[in-house]
Amino acid sequence: MLEVLDTAGGEVLGYFVPNAVKLTVLEDDRTSKTITCNAIISLHEREVLLSDAVIEELEIEILSPKTGVWRFRGEGKTRKTV
């Protein structure tokens, strides 16, 4: 359903689809749990963006956002964004 969405940059049109995506992080040596997420489809944005709530639910800890270094919660191994 096309809706007016309130963003930091003002109101924009976008599609809100509840419970639309099943999301799992797949790594060679580990897989996160699978969660169900809402999807917002922007008419302007081309990248996939994850909310802080989704990142936390997937047990991801962002160590260095600029260089893309992260890890799963509780592990010592660091990982690079692909």
Which pLDDT score, from 0 to 100, does residue 24 have?
98
Kindly give the parts of the chain with pLDDT less than 70: none
Distances (CA, A) of 26 to 18, 22, 60, 82: 23, 13, 12, 11
Contact between 14 and 42 under an 8 Å Cβ cutoff? The reply is yes
For 20-41, write each residue's pLDDT tens digit.
Answer: 999 999 999 999 999 999 999 9
How many domains is the chain partitioned into structurally?
1
Q: What percent of the chain has pLDDT over 70?
A: 100
Domain residues for the domain of 62 are 2-80
